Structure 1
Amino acid sequence: MGLVGIDFSGDCVRMLQMRYKNGVWSVNAAAARTCDLQDDLQDLPRLTEWIRGAMSAAGFTAKRCVVVLPREHIKVQSVRLPQMAESDTRQAVRWEASQRFGIDPDAMEVDYLATGAQLQGQDVRQELLLIASESERILPLLRAIAESGLRPIAAETSFTAVARALSLRLRREADQDTVRAVVEMGRTGTTIMVLRGDQIAFCKPLTFGGVQFDVAASEHLGIDLVAAREIRTARIASAASKNTTGPIDDAETDRAVYESIRPFIEQLTKEITLSLRYYGVTFRGHAPKFIILAGPEAQEPHLARMLEHSCKLPVKTDDENESLTNLLPQIHSLLNRMPGSIHAWAATIGACTRELPKRARSENSERAAA
């Protein structure tokens, strides 16, 4: 059996374990916490007990896990460094992260991703993504997970996990010519990416997400934040399922919510458009052919339409094989309740497929190319 993915990047804790057999990925076990994520992060002993209980009740069979960290615990920035040996690069990355993020180099966890993107002109520096966090923010969480009986082998960001989930069929060298833009939108932030095959070639984090939409709707409608969140959640769920019943049918409320958050959607689409233009003039290679919206907030009604109009590119909610969408009924069955949008599970799917079997990589790539 594969790894357990445990995701803290959304509005609650999600756990997933998948298996690969006869060319098909399927869900082996799933669990989701109904408690608000911030409550769990403030009470780690209670979180430990819930994970321990979920492992037993939901039938998880693995102990090794990959943790998707809370977005607010992570700092990300792109840098350009001279070509150098890996050991020298790691030293340079630690220094750069300390300087840029203002964190003591002895009190942080830091890693980097080499995008492989080639700059235009004669610039031969390497483009890297710095990923850092203060140790005191993530180590207690990892210890709490370990005390539940799981064994964390890696911790990562939501955007790297989402990129992996959307690239399970694009692992070959030849797939580097398949270029897509991905907008991963969460509660407290959004990440704009360009993927070449399964590799992140460009990444830009933004500091606003669903929380800002909730606040705007609350103020515009004159209701409390919890009620505004519930209305927006219903709208997102309805849009994701193409359901024509429920709160989304209240055209007056739907219009009022849209008017309240439209300035934020316009700002987001502008940022995405500018980022894709920047990628096109800064780096060599093909431009994205389409945009994929991912993440728990990505199905906000009207976002896809406005993004298509601004970027002049098709906007999708999954890959051409609907790899994520096809997993939703299985998660629903295992949870015995509606799990919400599949995009809320994208990072969890990516985490538990971090160690992709060689057989799966080969077979999935061949099938995608057929």
Structure 2
Amino acid sequence: MAIWDWTRRSWSPIGIEVGSSGVRMVQLSHDGTRLHAMGRRELPPACDGDLYSGDRQTALIDAIDSLRAQSVFRGRRAVVVLNDRQLLVQNLRVPRVSELSLPDLVERELAERLPYPIGQAEVRHVTVGEVRQGDRLYREVIVFAARSETLHHIVTLFDKAGLQVCAMDVEPAALIRSFLHEYRRDEDRASRTLMVHIGTARTVVLVCGEGHPLLIKYLQIGGRQFDQAVAEHLDMELRAAASLRRHQGDRRASRRDPDVLRSVREATRPVVERLISELAMCCRYYSVTFRGSPLSRVLLGGGEADADLARLISQRLNLAADVAQPFRHIRAETPIEDAPAWDVAVGAALRERYASPKPAATQPAECRT
């Protein structure tokens, strides 16, 4: 006789990404195979980069109320994604042999980099592997730190919006989960992938292998910089430039105005070149730090991801490049046209679906830095 498991939930937590331009919410079936609800609302510009201050607090609560009223989100449980606006993310090297424990070593190194006392921080770390620097071995560690007061403020804000924050997620982890859900083959997961998520205000770059982060870096390059470049080049208002760029990007290739498209590409070329230069430096850092496992592909996600940019990055980095499709194995009633923009929110909704993976196998490298 079958026995009902009353403790098992039918739906995932609501994955929530609060970004520079708006908030995204996604809820999936518990096994991650079906889309249950999703929605996005615009938010006012962030003041001094703080996504949860000023007028944004009221606007965020109103946006969540609106999304929950118009969509069929189930329950109150939410996974909220933290990014570089709330986090300090650092790759650190600590001695392989020390009288101190690894957490103590990490905190000692981190204390010099935090803009506030270490006692006010919540700190987590991921051990990446061992690297050789000269004749000594070090442990490469990725550290995430957030001010406790900031986390409490975010939890309180979502509580006012009627949601219970069951977990705080970090953006790179959400991106890796989205990748694991999209790429199912063992060889894809084991290979080293350069993930590039281009948002409105900045880009997160990470290298992952076997579901484990090896390198994380945030770049101050995003859609806003592309819009500003077009506005200056064509002597337009910023809003008009953004509309022009989106309008051309949303059209099928056969319906694009070639003259306008040429002007947009010419205007954004310096920003694209700067982005590719930064990606090339990340690739070089990875190659001299972790030998024996070369990068196999680039996965481009975020609201600024498109096939044209992926092709250009592929040519310049000499790597295969794909545009992320986070809903590839998730059934939805209608096609989702801006799917790459949802990779972070989908990854947050998948938090309970994927257990924390084991660290990727790495070999000591001769580091030249």
* Counterpart Cα distance in 2 of 1:119 and 1:255: 47
- What SS does structure 2 have at the residue aligned with 1:149? coil
Aligned-residue offset at 1:210 = 1.8
* Counterpart Cα distance in 1 of 2:189 and 2:300: 20
The question of 1:79 aligning with 2:92 is answered yes
- Where does structure 1 lack aligned partners over 5 or more consecutive residues? 334-338, 362-370
Could you tell me which residue of structure 2 aligns to residue 216 of structure 1? 229
- What SS does structure 2 have at the residue aligned with 1:289? strand
Bigger drift between 2-11 and 129-138 goes to 129-138
Could you tell me which residue of structure 2 aligns to residue 253 of structure 1? 260
The aligned runs of 1:293-312 (5 Å cut-off) are 293-299=300-306, 302-312=308-318
Code of the residue aligned with 1:355 in structure 2: it is E
The question of 1:54 aligning with 2:62 is answered no
The question of 1:266 aligning with 2:273 is answered yes
Say which of 315, 329, 341 aligns to 2:321.
315
Code of the residue aligned with 1:25 in structure 2: it is T
Say which of 127, 151, 157 aligns to 2:140.
127
Say which of 199, 208, 213 aligns to 1:200.
213
* Counterpart Cα distance in 1 of 2:187 and 2:135: 25
Query: Identical aligned pairs, as a percentage?
Result: 27
Code of the residue aligned with 2:327 in structure 1: it is L
Bigger drift between 172-181 and 24-33 goes to 172-181
Summarize the Cα distance change of 1:357–1:137 in structure 2 as closer, same or farther, 3 Å threshold: closer
Aligned-residue offset at 1:105 = 1.9
Q: Which has the higher strand share?
A: 2
Residues 266, 306 of structure 1: 8 Å contact kept: no
- What SS does structure 2 have at the residue aligned with 1:133? strand
Could you tell me which residue of structure 2 aligns to residue 168 of structure 1? 181
* Counterpart Cα distance in 2 of 1:188 and 1:98: 28
Could you tell me which residue of structure 2 aligns to residue 181 of structure 1? 194
* Counterpart Cα distance in 1 of 2:177 and 2:330: 15
Could you tell me which residue of structure 2 aligns to residue 31 of structure 1? 39
Summarize the Cα distance change of 1:186–1:50 in structure 2 as closer, same or farther, 3 Å threshold: closer
* Counterpart Cα distance in 2 of 1:258 and 1:154: 41
The aligned runs of 1:99-178 (5 Å cut-off) are 99-116=112-129, 123-168=136-181, 177-178=190-191
Bigger drift between 283-292 and 117-126 goes to 117-126
* Counterpart Cα distance in 2 of 1:71 and 1:83: 28
Summarize the Cα distance change of 1:284–1:119 in structure 2 as closer, same or farther, 3 Å threshold: farther
Residues 130, 138 of structure 2: 8 Å contact kept: no
Summarize the Cα distance change of 1:133–1:227 in structure 2 as closer, same or farther, 3 Å threshold: farther
Could you tell me which residue of structure 2 aligns to residue 292 of structure 1? 299
Q: Which has the higher helix share?
A: 1
Q: TM-score, normalised by structure 2?
A: 0.81
- What SS does structure 2 have at the residue aligned with 1:230? helix
- Where does structure 2 lack aligned partners over 5 or more consecutive residues? 1-10, 358-369
Could you tell me which residue of structure 1 aligns to residue 13 of structure 2? 3
Bigger drift between 91-100 and 32-41 goes to 32-41
Residues 124, 143 of structure 2: 8 Å contact kept: yes
Could you give the per-residue CA deviations for residues 290-339 of structure 1, whole angstroms, max 9, x where no partner exists? 1111111222x642232122111111113xxx553465854x57xxxxx6
Aligned-residue offset at 1:352 = 0.6
How many residues are paired up? 340
Code of the residue aligned with 2:342 in structure 1: it is W
* Counterpart Cα distance in 2 of 1:66 and 1:47: 15
Could you tell me which residue of structure 2 aligns to residue 345 of structure 1? 342
Bigger drift between 194-203 and 33-42 goes to 33-42
Cα RMSD for the two superposed structures: 3.1
Could you tell me which residue of structure 1 aligns to residue 22 of structure 2? 12
Aligned-residue offset at 1:172 = 9.5
Residues 13, 37 of structure 1: 8 Å contact kept: no
Could you give the per-residue CA deviations for residues 270-302 of structure 1, whole angstroms, max 9, x where no partner exists? 221222122122213311211111111222x64
Could you give the per-residue CA deviations for residues 162-209 of structure 1, whole angstroms, max 9, x where no partner exists? 121011266898876322111111122212221112111222222222
Residues 34, 331 of structure 2: 8 Å contact kept: no
Q: TM-score, normalised by structure 1?
A: 0.80
Summarize the Cα distance change of 1:99–1:345 in structure 2 as closer, same or farther, 3 Å threshold: same
- What SS does structure 2 have at the residue aligned with 1:115? strand
* Counterpart Cα distance in 2 of 1:303 and 1:183: 11
* Counterpart Cα distance in 2 of 1:355 and 1:92: 30
Residues 215, 225 of structure 1: 8 Å contact kept: yes
Summarize the Cα distance change of 1:255–1:74 in structure 2 as closer, same or farther, 3 Å threshold: farther
Summarize the Cα distance change of 1:310–1:196 in structure 2 as closer, same or farther, 3 Å threshold: same
The question of 1:231 aligning with 2:244 is answered yes
Residues 183, 292 of structure 1: 8 Å contact kept: yes
Could you tell me which residue of structure 2 aligns to residue 336 of structure 1? none
